[in-house]
Structure 1
Amino acid sequence: MDLGDIRAWDVAGLSTLQTTLSSRGDTLTDVKSKLQSIGQLPGWQGESVHAARQKFTITADDLSDEIATVSAVQELARQTEVAVEHLQAELKKLESDAAANQMMLHDDGQVTYSTAGKEADEIEGLKRAELQIETAARALITQAADVDSDATAVLHKAASGEITAGDATSTEDIKKTGREQGSLTTDPPAPQLTPLEAKEYWDALSPEQQNYVLSQHPGWVGNVDGIPAAVRDKANRAMIPVERARLEAERKRLQDNIDDNIFGGTFTNEDAALWYVEQKLKDLDAVETELAKTISDGNPETPDRPRDLKLLVLDMTSGERGHAAVAVGNPDTADNISVTTPGFGTTVNGSLGGMIDEASNLKNEAERQLDWAGKNTTVSTVAWIGYDTPNSTGQGNFDAQRGYSDVTSETKARDAARPLATFYQGLDAAAETADPRIVALGHSYGSVATSYALQSSQGAGVDEAVFYGSPGLGEIVAAPWSSAVGPEQLGLDKGDAYVIGIDGDLIAGSGLFGGDPASNEDFVQLSSGEGTDLTGVHREGGDSHADYPRSTVLPNHERQLKMPGYNLAAIVAGSGLELREQ
């Protein structure tokens, strides 16, 4: 199977086949109905009549299997037509993209092009286009092969008499049974797909197949980076009751074991396991609470409306604690996207609501600045709790000690690097805009995690990064080697990496992980003190380690970010209005 086969697939022939089979099915149904009527032999009695009736019944049953087989092949033809039309439409898009980049798309999915006379940045753009087109082409070929394989299997069963009516008796049930045996299968995304591969996997599915995944297997795609935000949101919302039922069953199992054990969970750690299960149930409560909140447009005569939130991550299995990520606005259509990674003590239950509020305030201020600057671009801000942060709470006697030990170790930051990097890459892959600006925001210990995510992935598609309240950026994990982590190690250009510190923030000045980034002249230092911003608004300065994204309440009850938050918004928006330290 290759692109040439997709291009040559006879969609019109599939449509004609459906019409023919429909007519054949109607004829068989009519014959079966007449046989059943004749088989009653009204007015006749005796043993010979009974035998005759049995013969008519057997003949009608044979026709039931025939009707089921025709219905199966008809459904196969219908679904194949839909799938092939979709594949051909996607192929035309790829051919158009290739032509726009002066590339040749070959039937095996490979792309060739000339770099003669091209500048370095043009060649880099061509390489990105090549990767996207070839990845999409491979996904189309894979999906086409799956369709062809399914069709072959159904036709083989039809030819060998393996498709039957089963226990169905009515004509509609017989046809339904047949259709079920003629349906195309839909495979889950393969494990370890890159975000771009995941995006192309989804795009290669027909709308019917996409609906099937969302309705029957939402867990396949909800947490897969590269899948569109609206799809992830719908899938993850559908998984909330599923995860709740699973955790409640696990809670009961653990509680029963503890109740049946004379020592409780002392020697089995099941009491600790039960505590973490209960925390995850509270995490689900917190997620549901936030998704259910509404906002008012200020008009008492109109109903409040849901907040524009996208649940991009709902993971209650991979970590000791629950993980979640929520976008304010749609990152797939935004020109500017920020991802905030928090630090010590952050949990879904205890922190998600506050982080969403902070993300909303950040988005509002970024949009205000863009409007002030006359820039017509859009913003989405993401609160990402996608790793087990160092945490001092727990059921055990030594959990507090463990938490403080974790926060002085890089282990959890390194553990966060891969999921955070692929999350950035997933936003880039799923974006409908040509090249969205992605801004990484790392607070406190989260700045260490952000550093390792960027270092381990040559920047992960991130355009700019701000580290605030940072105890350091950790060790250098790959060349180029230097005395300390700088923009180059993070995969960023000089001038695209920023730090914000607040006077008196002992964590920000500790330099615990590789030194204080504020002392590195390659980072742009942004103001955190009281003053007037570049739009003429007077703002309070930050006072503590937790103050960076916080706001004050004005006399008119509106919220206004403090100076550190203003500067965060300026970088997120790309407004050029950031206030730098003199």
Structure 2
Amino acid sequence: MNDVVSYADVRRWKPEQLDAVHQQLGNRRDDLVNLQDELDASRNPDGWNGDAAQRSAEQHRELVERMRSLVAEVATVRAAVATAADEVTAIKRRVEMADREAEGHGFQITEEGGVRDVKPPENVPAGEAEQVRAQRIRVRDDLVDEIEKILDQAEATDAALAEALDAADEDEVRAGAGTTLASAAKTEDLTALADSAGQPPHNTAKANAAWWKSLSDEQRSALRENPPPWLGNRDGIPAVVRDEANRANFDKTRSQLRDERNRLAQGGISEDEQAEADQLDAKLKDLDAVEDTIARDNRQLLVLDASGERVKTAVAVGDVDTADHVSVFTPGFTTTAADSLKGADAETQNLVAESQREMMRAGKDGEVAGVFWLGYEAPQTDETADVTGDSVVSSESAKEGGEKLNEFYKGINSSRDTDPHLTAIGHSYGSTTTGYALQGGGHGVDDAIIYGSPGVGTNDIEDLHVPEGHTYRLEAKDDFVADLSRFGGDPSHMDGFTDLSTEKSDEGAQVTGHSDYLHPDTTSQHNIASVVGGVPENAVEGKTDGVGDALSYVPHQVQEGASAVHDWGSDRIADVKDLFS
């Protein structure tokens, strides 16, 4: 950036380059902070005394302080770069709008920021000439005023970033309180900015999004640099911020679990404590799986929650903040991060790639992101007997998970300036959870896909609040779960679903059973990818009926009849109340 910012400079600014620098600085900061163990190990050994020991200790203290200063400088510059990236993005948007406005009225904004009349209107009636001239003068003056404001904002952005760079270069940045490298990043200025942001008044996607958008760029940057533990799990916060916050909180989450596990182990684990110890061990394995998964390229960690009985998580492939198409897949029975995340992440990556190919095949551009959402505790085998609680035969886990999933859907839309094409996908018990999430309404889901579904919690497709004709169902041969009709009836008998084929076709192989719907090079994967990519016309329609569907028809009809009776009774009660009102 130059001392004097010109309009030509602003046109050439690229916020994505600042985003890349922000990421690189984050990696550098993490590398520095991760040297803490080596610094600790290099302290004087116990029992070493004398002049040499004293000089060694002093040199170690100086080294620690230099390292802490460096961490503070990187944190300060990184926050300033994040602020500048946001500002440059806003400035570029203003430049594009000004250029469009100028072109639409026959003007051109020059590289120097002047306004040139390049295409005055022709054949203007004599009686309207003065009015047209006055109008063009107003447009020109408005453009000149906007250009001045753009350049003022650009100058301020340039100066703020330069100030942070100069402060770091002149060693004017003071490390945060404490003795560790991590605490050094919490400088007084960044801490004050983060504290001034406060918290959202309510933990809803709408409130979180409104709070985040109300903050200044400086406050947002300070929060990103030193995120509070709760920030990463708040629906409505941008995905990139959630990812950074959850990654920053990851080691602390694991340390807390390890400390709790070590506490239990002291003096031996009693029979009563063994279940708690086993649960902690399982959570640590869950975190290992999450860590391995987010180490892969192009991943976003959108949920990290170690409370409750199992770790909850959500990992995206792609950029949820910018993708044109976003899918959210919810799994079902027996799913855990430790046992399921690696395979699920691979399926998500394949689905994103296949969706991209289907778009290209249809001659459409755009980016796709896919989320594996395990933000609820899916029922497990050892809970089957708990028929009124967490059992797979109970709807309780699906209802609780559905409330969280509904907010997650809302958060994707509310965190962005433009809504993506959003597809909800649910498999097995996860389709039931998806069904309850959709029944919550207000979710912004454009398409919904269920497969291997024991029911979506209702027998009326309108309850899902998905646009008509945009709800899809797949059922493979020999998938007995899809015929259970456990939750709201068998979807294969519900009006309004579009049935997509799982049979062999020109688009892929057949799938059978309950678990292979997303297997590569199958008709079912092709169909799901076509919907996710916004090209459902590429999908192969078809329905696989078996003995189970015939058997499930009767209980489905019974549930539909019961629902109709309930609706009729509600209407009659309302009529009676009206008579006495």
The bucket for the TM-score relative to the shorter chain is 0.5 to 0.7
From 239, 244, 265, the equivalent of 1:255 is 265
1:376 partner amino acid: D
Residue 195 of structure 1 deviates from its aligned partner by 1.6
Structure 2 counterpart of 1:374? 363
The answer to whether residue 534 in structure 2 is matched with residue 574 in structure 1 is: yes
Please report how far the alpha carbon of residue 184 of structure 1 lies from its aligned counterpart in structure 2 after TM superposition.
7.7
Give me the TM-score of the superposition, normalised by structure 2: 0.59
* Distance in 1 (alpha carbons) for counterparts of 2:444 and 2:429: 22
Check the 8 A contact 2:388/2:396 in 1, yes or no: no
- For 1:204, the aligned partner's letter is S
Could you say what secondary structure the match of 2:232 adopts? Answer: coil
For the residue of structure 2 that corresponds to 1:548, the secondary structure is coil
1:416 to 401, 424, 429: 401
The code of the aligned residue for 1:546 comes to S
Q: TM-score, normalised by structure 1?
A: 0.59
**Partner residue in 1 for 2:449:** 466
Measure, in 1, the Cα distance between the counterparts of 2:174 and 2:468: 68
Task: Assess if the C-alpha contact under 8 Å between 1:312 and 1:326 holds in 2.
Answer: yes
Whole-angstrom distance in 1 between the partners of 2:173 and 2:530: 66
Question: Does residue 496 of the first structure (1) align with residue 470 of the second (2)?
Answer: yes
**Post-superposition offset of 1:494:** 2.2
Aligned-pair identity (%): 37
Alpha-carbon shift at residue 522 of structure 1 (Å) = 1.4
Question: Are 1:270 and 2:259 an aligned pair?
Answer: no
Partner AA of 2:356 in structure 1: E
- In 1, are the aligned partners of 2:302 and 2:315 still within 8 Å (CA)? yes
* Structure 2 counterpart of 1:316: 306
Q: Distance in 1 between matches of 2:481 and 2:209?
A: 39
Q: 1:522 aligns with which of 462, 475, 496?
A: 496
Other-structure match for 1:230: 240
One of 446, 449, 458 as aligned partner of 2:430? 446
Runs of 4+ that moved beyond 6 A: 170-173, 176-184, 398-405
Contact 2:233 2:246 in 1 (8 A): yes
Quote the offset at 1:417 in angstroms. 1.2
* Aligned match of 2:204: 194
How far residue 401 of structure 1 moved from its aligned partner, in angstroms, is 7.1
- SS of the aligned residue for 1:356 comes to helix
The aligned residue for residue 358 of structure 1 is 347
The reply to whether residue 336 of structure 1 matches residue 320 of structure 2 is: no
More helix by share: 2
Give the SS at the match of 2:473.
Answer: strand
- How far off its partner does 1:449 sit? 0.4
CA distance in 2, matches of 1:405, 1:179: 47
Alignment match of 1:287 (pick from 269, 285, 290)? 290
Kindly provide the CA deviation profile for residues 347-402 of structure 1, in whole angstroms up to 9, marking residues without a partner as x. 01111111111111111111111001001122111100110001025xxxx77777
- Counterpart residue type for residue 289 of structure 2: A
Secondary structure of 2:483's partner? coil
Distance in 2 between residues matched to 1:354 and 1:373, nearest whole Å: 29
Distance 1:507 1:524 in 2: 19
Take 1:414 and 1:256, find their aligned partners in 2: how far apart are those partners? 39
Helix, strand or coil at the partner of 1:531: coil
Residue 574 of structure 1 and its aligned partner are, at CA, apart by 1.3
Change (3 A) 1:401 1:203: closer
Rounded to whole Å, the distance in 1 between the matches of 2:318 and 2:514 is: 27
Q: Residues 434-470 of structure 1, C-alpha deviation per residue, up to 9 Å, x if partnerless?
A: 2311110010000110010110234x11111011000
Q: Distance in 1 between matches of 2:479 and 2:263?
A: 45
CA pair 529-194 structure 1, distance change in 2 beyond 3 A: same
Secondary structure, counterpart of 1:454 in structure 2: helix
3-state SS of 2:274 partner: helix
**Cα distance change of structure 1 residues 180 and 375 upon mapping to structure 2, 3 Å threshold:** closer
Give the CA RMSD over aligned residues.
Answer: 3.5
Change (3 A) 1:353 1:513: same
CA distance 1:327–1:268, shift in 2 (3 Å): same
Q: CA separation in 2, counterparts of 1:369 and 1:292?
A: 28
Cα deviations across residues 322-358 of structure 1 (Å, max 9, x unaligned)? 0110111111111111100000000011111111111
Q: For each residue in 1:278-337, what CA deviation from the matched residue of structure 2 results, as whole angstroms up to 9, or x when unmatched?
A: 1111111111111223xxxxxxxxxxxxx21111111112x3100110111111111111
| Change in CA separation of 1:368 and 1:399 when aligned onto 2, cut-off 3 Å | same
- Residue identity opposite 1:430 in structure 2: S
Aligned equivalents of 2:491 and 2:233: distance in 1? 33
Q: From the superposition, tell whether residues 402 and 193 of structure 1 become closer, same or farther in structure 2 (CA, over 3 Å).
A: closer
- 1:493: how far off? 2.4
When residues 577 and 229 of structure 1 are mapped into structure 2, their CA distance, relative to the original with a 3 A threshold, is: same
SS of the aligned residue for 1:219 comes to coil
Query: Corresponding residue for 1:19?
Result: none
Per the TM alignment, residue 200 of structure 1 is displaced from its structure 2 partner at its CA by 2.9
Secondary structure, aligned partner of 1:507: helix
Tell me the equivalent position of 1:554.
none
The correspondence for 1:213, drawn from 194, 201, 223, is 223
Secondary structure at 1:358's aligned position in 2? helix
CA distance in 2 between counterparts of 1:268 and 1:310 reads 39
The alignment status of 1:543 with 2:512, answered yes or no, reads: yes
